[in-house]
A = this chain, B = another copy of it.
């Protein structure tokens, strides 16, 4: 295709050639945790803050997020850090209200085929980060994006987060072939999530570097100030210091390709 379409999220632009970092905890757990994580990722150089209100958990007894109770807190922390928010939306009935809080809607892996939700997001016009379903072909993923676009919203960013295979040493199999294929054959900006794509903190930095090397436009990284106390996904979260170290490695690698991290 050649050129990547540009999608603006606040002052941050995806698809400019510069790499955008989306970071933060898996979910908002409480005020202290969220504020400290937000400040830490801001300091480390993140451009967009993960603000998880609603979690889709396989087990109905697992922590499901604070829901709308955390909207106010997220707004405050976003203002304090000057970081736009990316938030997962799980229900078409939430779109209108969440659109007032979040800057970038995230569609999670379990909802890529939820076409009524995608249509609602298409009508909202807000930027959408569309994660690949963990067993979706590239064709199906692009057709899901088409559901959003054909409802009038071209602001779609794709996010590779790993597919399900027979391999169990890692939580998912991060499919970077898909990144290279999409860069060559479509004009969508592509984000990679090595946290879910590996499920192991130890593997996040090497796979983040690999994603940048094959052309990703952004990286979504789970960062937590106390991963072992996290209510979800702690085993794949980086500490702030690890995230800082990763951003420095990324800066060097990108420079070797005449690219850089996003800067306004």
Interface residues in A157-210 by Cβ distance below 8 A to B read 163-170, 173-181, 183-184, 197-198, 200, 202-203, 206-207, 209-210
Bound-complex Cα distance A197 to B202 (A): 24
Q: Residue A167 contacts which of B58, B143, B175, B252 (CB distance < 8 angstroms)?
A: B175
Q: Are A177 and B114 within 8 A (Cβ)?
A: no
Partner of A170, one of B140, B181, B257: B181
Tell me if A42 is interfacial: C-beta within 8 Å of chain B: no
Counting CB contacts under 8 A, is A147 at the interface? yes
Q: Which residue of chain B has its CB nearest to the CB of A212?
A: B213
Interchain CB contact (< 8 A) of A180 among B110, B114, B178, B203: B203
Interface pair B113/A137, CB less than 8 Å apart: no
CA distance A252 to B110 in the complex (A): 39
A90 contacts partner chain B, Cβ-Cβ < 8 Å: yes
Is residue A138 contacting chain B, with contact meaning CB distance below 8 A? yes
Measured CB to CB, the nearest residue on chain B to A258 is B252
Interface string of A70-87 (1 = CB under 8 A from B): 000000000000000000
When the two chains form their complex, are residues A115 and B137 in contact, meaning their CB atoms are under 8 A apart?
no
Looking at A56, A90, A209, the one whose CB has the most chain B CB atoms below 10 A away is A209
Contact present for A197 and B213 (CB under 8 Å):
no
Q: Assuming A166-B165, A184-B202, is B90 touching A93 (CB within 8 A)?
A: no
A-side binding surface: helix, strand, loop or mixed?
A: helix
Per-residue interface assignment for chain A, residues 121 to 157, with 1 indicating a CB less than 8 Å from any chain B CB and 0 otherwise: 0000000000000110111100110110010000000
Residues of chain B lying within 8 A (CB to CB) of residue A92? 91-93
Tell whether A111 is near chain B: CB-to-CB under 8 Å.
Answer: yes
Docked pose: A150 CA to B64 CA in angstroms: 14
Q: How far is the CA of A184 from the CA of B163 in the complex (A)?
A: 21
Q: Does A59 contact B (CB under 8 A)?
A: yes
A215 within 8 A of B: yes
Question: Would you call B111 and A143 a contact (CB within 8 A)?
Answer: no
Q: How far is the CB of A48 from chain B (nearest CB, A)?
A: 23
Bound-state CA distance A213–B203 (Å) is: 12
The contact sample of 7 A-B pairs, CB cut-off 8 A, is A92-B93, A173-B173, A180-B202, A180-B207, A210-B213, A210-B214, A253-B253
Task: Enumerate chain A interface residues (CB-CB to B < 8 A).
Answer: 56-61, 90-93, 110-111, 113-116, 134-135, 137-140, 143-144, 146-147, 150, 163-170, 173-181, 183-184, 197-198, 200, 202-203, 206-207, 209-215, 249, 252-253, 255-257
